[in-house]
Structure 1
Amino acid sequence: MSTTALAVVQGSYTMNVRAESWLGGTLLADSIPISDGGESRDRSLAVPEQISLTVPRRDGGFDWDPGTDPAHPLAAYGQMLRIDYGVDVGGQMEWINRGWFLITESSTDGDTVAVNCQGLLTLIDEASLIAPFQPSSTDTLGSVVRALVEPALTVGFDGTLVDRAVPLGMQWDSDRLGAVAEVLTAWGAAERVTEDGYLLIEPVSDAGSPVLSISDNSTTGTVVRWQGSTTRDGAFNCVVAQGEDSAGNQLQGVVYDGDGTSPYQYGGPFNPLPVPYPFQSSLLTTVAQCRTAAAAQMKLLRRQAFRRLGVTMVPHPGLVTGDIVSVTGAGLTNARCAIESLSLPYAPGEQTLTVRVL
């Protein structure tokens, strides 16, 4: 987003949404009329992105009811929508790309067509393995991810990840997306689909500077408040990652919650004894790998367990899950927070965020 658009979305503004439909690399429609809808993202889900759209059945002389036509722009036979959110900047629309989404269902009721879409990881989630998948002796973690995902999605890797060989004897039977998740857990990595439709594999991290400052004050109408509940059920203050070396010796790496702001901090009042979260993977063949995986798993688990805030604000079409924001409100001042989930309306309305205090 331009600096001008960033300033505009801090207050009231005029917006629009446009969508293109593509099938197998061919453009089917470049101006789908959207009368209502919205987008939700939750990075705790296997497929984080969900889209709902309302389209008039007839517009501009075109019938948007897909009926039984497998090549219709709104049919669910591989059609993908590229969605852009427009912000009026000085009388001209600046378009912010929200990404590519797979149409999963379209239904017509009277004069409107309801269209549901999901993120592109749906392609991997629904494609169960039809035979056991066994890596070869030359495979690495990266090549296994490519073999499981491509050509449905093109995979890119963050340059800071260090690839390594996969132990012999690994096998996955049916769950393709689960196999990818196991590889990434052992690697200390996480995946996300970029706005360009690529699957990016990168280290688990909450680093980065805030992309936006959110303040709970009377002029912006932004509301910031604590949300959720507190429980000891499933809580932990250390992660134990277990594997084995080539000789069959059992290995493990332990990482303790040493965050001074964490209510589960090891050695703190939560419990003076270790309360472990264990996991095991045959992909872990050294103690160093176990420790790296345990540290990454600690960060992933904290995304679900740590303190959260609910934010209601003017829609900001540049935000996605994982972004770092600075929050003032609910007793906090300029606190770094990560966006864990969000909803973005595709018509005038309010945006909601769930952010985790870092």
Structure 2
Amino acid sequence: MRDGAPDEVIAGACFWYSRVTSWLGGRLLASTVPIISGRATGKVDQEVIEEVSLTVPRFAAAAEGEDVADWRPGTDTLHPLARYGQVLDVTVVVVSVITGTAWETRVGRYQVKDWDDDDAGLISVKGESLLARPRDDKLTAPTSPSSTATFISEARRLAPAGMGVSFEAGLIDRALPQAFAWSESRLDAWRELAAAWPALLRIDPWGQARFRAPLPAVPAPVITLTDGARGTLISAPRADSRAGAPNLVAVTTQGSDTADVVGISAITSGPMSVNGDYGIVTKKWSSGAVTNLAEATAAAKADLDASSRPAQIVPAQIAPDPRLELDDPVELLREGDQLWGYVTAYDMPLTAGDGAMRVDVGLT
């Protein structure tokens, strides 16, 4: 959960706005991008995980007292909204109406993907999280881990130039086999490392790739979303889907000199049991980063937990709360129901006129 205003301010009397700055490398191009509306979104199974969309006036002053500027990039490669490596830094500021105290929540950094001029005075801008960089920066030739490679050292070696990589303390580093080669995609290689570890590949608010430990089977909620007095929950419909919800995951080793082995994790009780009427829905994959049965079984279990989580979701509508982020453990209280789960997706407005925030909570 991100830092920000306390629960009583979010649920009480407050106003808020977003501050967007534009950077090109270490150069500040615009200290304020004047946005009319915008949304920041995230989804755990999306390629670059998080994105942003903004609507900007064609002509506007960035701040009071400044000259009016043209916010259409045109052919200017140094324009704040151009797509030549420009990065938008987004922060949400929440201010208490009662005390005037302000809290800042850093949401993320987004590489400008494209812009569009509607020829009616508005510019639409789309950006992607910096996981777009390893997706786009392909390896020019197959490459293999060195003889001393570990999961951590290899994750760092595969990073695009200038991109930081961090690792949660709960992850245990281990040696990586050399008897395989990565394909051209750095992002796919990172994902394979994460799956084999097992770990979660995420992006932090500073644009740094982060490998996190798998989520616990039972969440310990960091926030309670409830309706009624002093609550922020507007609605909490339910949704359930069989699509993408395996009850058996099989992971095959490829990185040892012995015959390949298969690690299996299965749901053996409850309505999704492999022994019941649900039937068997299998997900299979293999990796050269997995070398023995114990590693394959651990990877299969982590994948099974992650794959089954988004199947049964509560797409909750809440008052905007910039602190919430992917993987946050959440408690939902709605009309007598008490539900626990993890945030699997969010859609957050960046201005006060952009409506409610949606948070998908994958139930456990």
* Same fold, judged at TM 0.5 (above): yes
- Residues 3 and 21 of structure 1, relative CA distance in 2, 3 Å threshold: closer
Structure 1 CA distance, aligned partners of 2:349 and 2:225?
19
Q: Which amino acid aligns with 1:46?
A: E
- Residues 275 and 171 of structure 1, relative CA distance in 2, 3 Å threshold: same
Match of 1:10 in 2: 11
Contact 1:225-1:330 at 8 Å conserved across structures? no
1:167 offset after TM fit, Å?
A: 1.7
Structure 2 CA distance, aligned partners of 1:2 and 1:102?
23
- The answer to whether residue 103 in structure 2 is matched with residue 98 in structure 1 is no
- Residues 74 and 251 of structure 1, relative CA distance in 2, 3 Å threshold: same
Match of 2:289 in 1: 283
Matches for 1:257-296 after TM superposition, within 5 Å:
257-258=267-268, 263-271=271-279, 275-296=281-302
1:75 offset after TM fit, Å?
A: 1.0
Q: Deviation per CA, 1:81-124, whole angstroms, max 9, x where unpaired?
A: 11111112222432211111111112323322211111110111
Structure 2 CA distance, aligned partners of 1:150 and 1:253?
32
1:183 offset after TM fit, Å?
A: 1.5
Correspondence for 1:222 among 227, 234, 255: 234
- Residues 235 and 356 of structure 1, relative CA distance in 2, 3 Å threshold: closer
Contact 1:41-1:341 at 8 Å conserved across structures? yes
What count of residue pairs does the alignment treat as equivalent?
A: 350
Helix, strand or coil at the partner of 1:342: strand
**Greater CA deviation, 276-285 or 99-108?**
276-285
Correspondence for 1:323 among 296, 316, 328: 328
1:178 offset after TM fit, Å?
A: 1.1
Helix, strand or coil at the partner of 2:51: strand
1:173 offset after TM fit, Å?
A: 2.8
Q: Deviation per CA, 1:130-183, whole angstroms, max 9, x where unpaired?
A: 211222222222222111114242011122222222222311232221111112
Contact 1:44-1:304 at 8 Å conserved across structures? no
Q: Which amino acid aligns with 2:114?
A: E
Correspondence for 2:79 among 61, 72, 83: 72
Matches for 1:25-40 after TM superposition, within 5 Å:
25-40=26-41
Q: Which amino acid aligns with 2:273?
A: Q
Q: Which amino acid aligns with 2:258?
A: G
Q: Which amino acid aligns with 2:326?
A: T
Structure 2 CA distance, aligned partners of 1:27 and 1:2?
24
**Greater CA deviation, 157-166 or 123-132?**
157-166
1:287 offset after TM fit, Å?
A: 1.3
Q: Which amino acid aligns with 1:227?
A: A
1:270 offset after TM fit, Å?
A: 2.8
Match of 1:56 in 2: 57
1:78 offset after TM fit, Å?
A: 0.7
Q: Which amino acid aligns with 1:83?
A: V
Helix, strand or coil at the partner of 2:18: strand
Contact 2:250-2:262 at 8 Å conserved across structures? yes
Structure 2 CA distance, aligned partners of 1:150 and 1:175?
11
- The answer to whether residue 247 in structure 2 is matched with residue 243 in structure 1 is no
Match of 2:43 in 1: 42
In the alignment, structure 2 segments of 5+ residues that lack a partner are 62-66
Structure 2 CA distance, aligned partners of 1:64 and 1:114?
10
Q: Which amino acid aligns with 1:94?
A: W
Q: Which amino acid aligns with 2:95?
A: D
Structure 2 CA distance, aligned partners of 1:131 and 1:111?
46
How much is the aligned-residue C-alpha RMSD, in angstroms? 2.3
- Residues 263 and 66 of structure 1, relative CA distance in 2, 3 Å threshold: same
Structure 2 CA distance, aligned partners of 1:68 and 1:278?
47
Q: Which amino acid aligns with 1:223?
A: S
Contact 1:66-1:73 at 8 Å conserved across structures? yes
1:218 offset after TM fit, Å?
A: 7.6
Structure 2 CA distance, aligned partners of 1:29 and 1:263?
54
Matches for 1:129-168 after TM superposition, within 5 Å:
129-168=139-178
1:234 offset after TM fit, Å?
A: 5.8
In the alignment, structure 1 segments of 5+ residues that lack a partner are none
Contact 2:43-2:345 at 8 Å conserved across structures? yes
Q: Which amino acid aligns with 1:104?
A: K
Match of 1:254 in 2: 264
Q: Scaled by the length of structure 2, what TM-score is found?
A: 0.88
Helix, strand or coil at the partner of 2:158: helix
Helix, strand or coil at the partner of 1:304: coil
Contact 1:104-1:118 at 8 Å conserved across structures? yes
